[in-house]
Amino acid sequence: MEIVLIALLTIFAGLVGTVGGFGTSTIMVPVLALSFPLPATLLLVGTIHWFSNIWKMLLFREGFDWKFIVSFGIPAAFASYIGASLVLEFPQSVLLRLVGGVLVGYVVFLFLEPQFRLRKTAAAASMAGLCAGFLPGLVGIGGEVRSVFLAAFDLKKSLYIFTSGVLGFIVDSTRLATYFATGIRVESLLLWGLLIFIPASFVGAYLARHVVDRIPQRQFRMVVAVFLLAMGVKLLFFPQ
């Protein structure tokens, strides 16, 4: 029964995380951490998240744009390292509330100025990548912050989701390698459960593909904005 419940949670989180470009870990980690040690939870969810990013890239591969991905991704990776090196210099709860305020403020601005968008140039993508990398490195929240800057370009649905999948895949590969290197492991039951959880993550992404297909392009950014607003409110009032 435990495996079935986690599989259902994986499908739901995969659906939400694919449509919004973030949210899989945000949904799964707090729930699973109630029953399992946090290090094992992070490894398990990180593994599921790693595969979820692969499904994003496969199901939305028509959104491949290597120039944009390189222009955005390389500065983001560099700035993430800088942010991570400063993580102990500031109170984490204050930083998380700050990010929550930024998310809420951005969504309010977007509803007031729905025509706002950044031009999809290499220079703009690089500057956005620097900001989108620095903040996650500093506060440990990646997908939500990246989504703010990706949404600012008002990208096509497939490009938005494919790019979030590529960036998430790179980040997840790094952190999973770190978890293993530090000796973190999951219990055998959950390890065998991955044989169900991984296909379940694909089911969630596949359902999301059909949901995204039904969302008109002109409304897609507002759908993402609703996800960002929910996360912003959560971080403002419940930062931990």
Residue-wise pLDDT tens digits, 57-75: 999 999 888 898 899 888 8
Q: Mean pLDDT throughout 215-236? A: 87
Structure tokens at 37: 């040690």
CA 24 to each of CA 31, 121, 183: distance values in angstroms, whole numbers, following the listed order: 11, 29, 24
Give the residue extent of every domain in the chain.
2-237
Supply the DSSP string of 76-93, one letter for each residue: HHHHHHHHHHTGGGS-HH
Q: Give CA–CA dist 129/76, Å, rounded.
A: 4
The model's pTM: 0.81
Burial degree of 168 (CB within 10 A; 0-12, 13-18, 19+): buried
How confident is the model at residue 136, as a pLDDT? 64
Name the band, by pLDDT with cuts 50, 70 and 90, for residue 141: low
Q: What is the pLDDT of residues 145-188, one digit of tens each?
A: 788 888 888 889 999 999 989 888 887 887 788 778 878 888 88
pLDDT at 213 over 80: yes
Q: Do residues 50 and 176 touch, judged by C-beta distance below 8 A?
A: yes
pLDDT at 138: 65
The mean-pLDDT minimum among 23-32, 133-142, 231-240 falls in 133-142
Say if residues 145 and 132 touch (Cβ distance below 8 Å): yes
Mean pLDDT highest for which of 27-36, 175-184, 198-207?
198-207
Mean pLDDT value across residues 89-95: 73
Q: What does the alpha-carbon distance between residue 42 and residue 44 come to, in Å, rounded to a whole number?
A: 6
Long-range CB pairs of 13-17, under 8 A, 24+ apart, other chains included: 13/204, 14/48, 14/52, 14/55, 14/200, 14/201, 14/202, 14/203, 14/204, 14/205, 14/207, 14/208, 15/204, 15/205, 15/207, 15/208, 15/211, 16/208, 16/227, 17/49, 17/52, 17/143, 17/204, 17/208
| Locus of tokens 């055998």 | 188
Q: What CA–CA distance (Å, rounded) separates 174 from 90?
A: 24
pLDDT on residue 139: 61
Token readout for 20 is 């919004």
**Of 54-68, 74-88, 98-112, minimum mean pLDDT range:** 74-88
